[in-house]
Amino acid sequence: MALKLYNTLTRKKEEFEPLEEGKVNIYSCGQTIYLDMHIGNAKTYAAWDILNRYLTWKGYDVFHVMNITDVGHLTDDSDQGEDKVEKEARERGIEPRELVTEQVQRWYEEMDRLNMKTHNVNPRATGHMVEMIEAVKDIKENGYAYEENGTVYFDVMKFHEDHGYPGVGSMNIQELQAGAGGRVKEEEQEEKKSPLDFALWINADPEHIMKWPSPWSEGYPGWHLECSVMSSKYLGKRFDIHTGGVDHIFPHHPNERAQCMAMNNLVEEPVNYWLHSEHMTVEGEKMSKSKGNFYTVREILEKYDAEVVRMFFASSHYRKQVDFNEEALESAESNLEKLYNTLWNVENSEGGEREKLKGEVEKFEKRFEEAMDDDLDTPKAVNELVKFSKKVNKNLDNRKEVLEEAAEKIQELGRVLGLKLNLEEEGGKIPEKAVELLIEIREEFREEGDYERADEVRDVLKEGGIVLEDEGGQTVWKRK
Ligand code: AMP
Ligand code: ZN
């Protein structure tokens, strides 16, 4: 079956065909590493983690690069404002490199806890200064850049005449020109040929900390440059898939594309498929570090299990906005519990003689694949997983081999969505039947007034990851 992906370049769903048979090269724009990752950033990374896992599951050899931005991302989207890393370091009273070292470590811990597949390379901008300076030289030599007072700008209109700009997204150059004027500050207006021009290299103010010598000035690279340079370095001049959040549709990705073509003298598109993930919102507003309306992954993981968070991510489509709220997380938790319960019940069931599930495993896999082939429809895939696991749970009298095959398929496909589904790792090694028996025993102790022993039973269950709640004279239980 063929995978279809929505391509922002052509603005339609297209069948995925790699440049080289059996191989997929992916570049994902990564974290600007000055504060802890927020849950919205993680939603976007989870989408690319699933893309990677799904392509791998389909048999492709995937090479995935995600950069780490540690210089050049300014507080203002035009070429103004402070470097985000430098600003935060200054506020904390530490060196920018010290901040980056600490934040990178925290980022890896968070990514690991969220079971994000490791990328093959996480290149950092500061590690590619030589290549970036060379790229600016190439772009200039090829006629697409000019220097003003030690700052080098990309000549967007010249590029547009030759190759078309923006290329990615639905805007056209006239609309962009009309909208761009207001964003550019006066002093910049004087230097730039067009308000759409963007900086490749910026002449640093004297108080700027992170700066490097170059043929034009002691300065630092523009934010867009690093991605073009690092994607070309690790994936080649042309590669398969480029991903980012919808905030990258303009200007980051058109600028990346233009730089790639200008520096590599490319006539063909550098990237065949551009994928964009929609934002996570809080009460309808984009979650963002600059607005301050964000929850960090760390704070969420204090309250929710990482696997519940992954289930929450998979439960919405990557191209749909998703609001962050407790009900959505609780619903993800309940679905995850259903999967675990089935896995437990299969493990602890002796099975029977019936064979009702026999052909069902393949049918389930087919429906899952159909959902994922349709532009990674993970909510539908989750639905198939939950539906199938309920069916298995109702048919525990099937032959044990068939039950095991069904459970293994639930695990295999759940893992494509970034779930772990490891019974050993999860609390709750106690089978459902045993939990119910222990609850009955606890009830008996309570009826006899032996509260001490009743509490002992509760503690034993708790150690096994089972939480009891007494609700209106009835005891309900949950796996933690
Ligand atoms: P940044 O650190 O701001 O460069 O963002 C890192 C990644 O997270 C980028 O791919 C952004 O597009 C993405 N991103 C930022 N904010 C959100 C959000 N609220 N929801 C989803 N993705 C986001
Ligand atoms: Zn980028």
- Average pLDDT score over residue span 270-291: 92
Q: Under 8 Å CB-to-CB from 436, ≥6 apart: which residues?
A: none
Could you tell me the distance, in angstroms and rounded to a whole number, from the CA of residue 87 to the centre of ligand 2?
Answer: 21
- CATH number of the structural domain 12-281: 3.40.50.620
- CATH number of the structural domain 326-426: 1.20.120.640
Quick one: which atom of ligand 1 is closest to the CA of 37?
2
0.75 surpassed by pTM: yes
442 sits in the region (left: phi over 0; alpha: psi -120 to 50; else beta) called: alpha
b/e sequence 5-20, b meaning 16+ C-beta within 10 Å: bbbbbeeeebebebee
Report the pLDDT value the prediction gives residue 187, as an integer from 0 to 100. Answer: 63
Mean pLDDT check: name the lowest of 62-76, 228-242, 428-442.
428-442
CA distance 414 to 406: 12
Report the pLDDT value the prediction gives residue 251, as an integer from 0 to 100. Answer: 95
Report the candidate in 218, 219, 220, 237 with the shortest Cα–Cα distance to residue 228. Answer: 237
Could you tell me the distance, in angstroms and rounded to a whole number, from the CA of residue 245 to the centre of ligand 2?
Answer: 10
- Average pLDDT score over residue span 234-242: 98
Sheet containing 219-221, strands listed edge to edge, beginning at the edge strand earlier in sequence: 145-148, 151-154, 198-203, 219-221
pLDDT at residue 250 greater than cutoff 60: yes
- Average pLDDT score over residue span 359-380: 98
Report the candidate in 150, 160, 126, 125 with the shortest Cα–Cα distance to residue 262. Answer: 160
CA distance 467 to 394: 24
Q: Ligand 1 pocket: which of 44, 65, 76, 288 to mutate (most atoms <8 Å of CB)?
A: 44
Q: Ligand 1 pocket: which of 247, 289, 294, 320 to mutate (most atoms <8 Å of CB)?
A: 247
Hey, which of 77-81, 393-397, 473-477 has the most confident mean pLDDT? 393-397
Quick one: which atom of ligand 1 is closest to the CA of 280?
20
Report the pLDDT value the prediction gives residue 76, as an integer from 0 to 100. Answer: 77
Report the pLDDT value the prediction gives residue 188, as an integer from 0 to 100. Answer: 65
Residue 121: DSSP 8-state: B
- Average pLDDT score over residue span 34-42: 96
Report the pLDDT value the prediction gives residue 426, as an integer from 0 to 100. Answer: 55
Could you tell me the distance, in angstroms and rounded to a whole number, from the CA of residue 255 to the centre of ligand 2?
Answer: 9
* pLDDT confidence band for 292 (50 / 70 / 90): confident
What is the residue-wise DSSP string for 275-298?
EEEPPEEETTEEP-TTTT---BHH
pLDDT at residue 3 greater than cutoff 80: yes
Report the pLDDT value the prediction gives residue 297, as an integer from 0 to 100. Answer: 97
- Average pLDDT score over residue span 190-213: 94
pLDDT at residue 257 greater than cutoff 90: yes
Q: Where are the alpha helices (DSSP H) in 114-141?
A: 129-141
* pLDDT confidence band for 435 (50 / 70 / 90): confident
Mean pLDDT check: name the lowest of 49-58, 288-297, 372-381.
288-297
CA distance 44 to 390: 29
Mean pLDDT check: name the lowest of 177-186, 346-355, 434-443.
177-186
Report the pLDDT value the prediction gives residue 182, as an integer from 0 to 100. Answer: 59
Could you tell me the distance, in angstroms and rounded to a whole number, from the CA of residue 320 to the centre of ligand 2?
Answer: 21
- Average pLDDT score over residue span 12-18: 98
Q: Ligand 1 pocket: which of 41, 124, 224 to mutate (most atoms <8 Å of CB)?
A: 41
- Average pLDDT score over residue span 8-22: 98
- Of the listed ligands, the closest to the CA of 287 is 1
pLDDT at residue 155 greater than cutoff 70: yes
Report the candidate in 196, 208, 189 with the shortest Cα–Cα distance to residue 148. Answer: 189
Report the pLDDT value the prediction gives residue 80, as an integer from 0 to 100. Answer: 75
* pLDDT confidence band for 35 (50 / 70 / 90): very high
- Of the listed ligands, the closest to the CA of 227 is 2
Could you tell me the distance, in angstroms and rounded to a whole number, from the CA of residue 201 to the centre of ligand 2?
Answer: 16
Report the candidate in 238, 245, 221, 303 with the shortest Cα–Cα distance to residue 40. Answer: 245
CA distance 37 to 103: 9
Could you tell me the distance, in angstroms and rounded to a whole number, from the CA of residue 185 to the centre of ligand 1?
Answer: 25
- Of the listed ligands, the closest to the CA of 226 is 2
* pLDDT confidence band for 465 (50 / 70 / 90): confident
Report the pLDDT value the prediction gives residue 75, as an integer from 0 to 100. Answer: 84
When the pLDDT of each residue in the chain is averaged and rounded to a whole number, the result is 93
- Of the listed ligands, the closest to the CA of 277 is 1
Cβ contact 27:65 at 8 Å: yes
Query: One-letter amino acid identity for 203?
Result: N
- Average pLDDT score over residue span 404-430: 88
Quick one: which atom of ligand 1 is closest to the CA of 281?
19
Could you tell me the distance, in angstroms and rounded to a whole number, from the CA of residue 172 to the centre of ligand 1?
Answer: 24
Query: One-letter amino acid identity for 308?
Result: V
Return residues with CB closer than 5 A to ligand 2 (ion): 29, 227
Closest residue by CA, ligand 1 atom 6: 31
Report the pLDDT value the prediction gives residue 394, as an integer from 0 to 100. Answer: 96
Ligand 1 lining (C-beta closer than 6 Å): 29, 31-32, 40-41, 43-44, 244-245, 247-248, 277, 279-280, 286-288
CA distance 212 to 130: 10
CA distance 201 to 218: 9
pLDDT at residue 427 greater than cutoff 60: no
Quick one: which atom of ligand 1 is closest to the CA of 245?
12
Quick one: which atom of ligand 1 is closest to the CA of 247?
12
What is the residue-wise DSSP string for 408-433?
HHHHHHHHHTT----TTTSS--S-HH
Tens digit of each residue's pLDDT (9 = 90 or more) over 172-196: 999 998 887 556 666 667 789 999 9
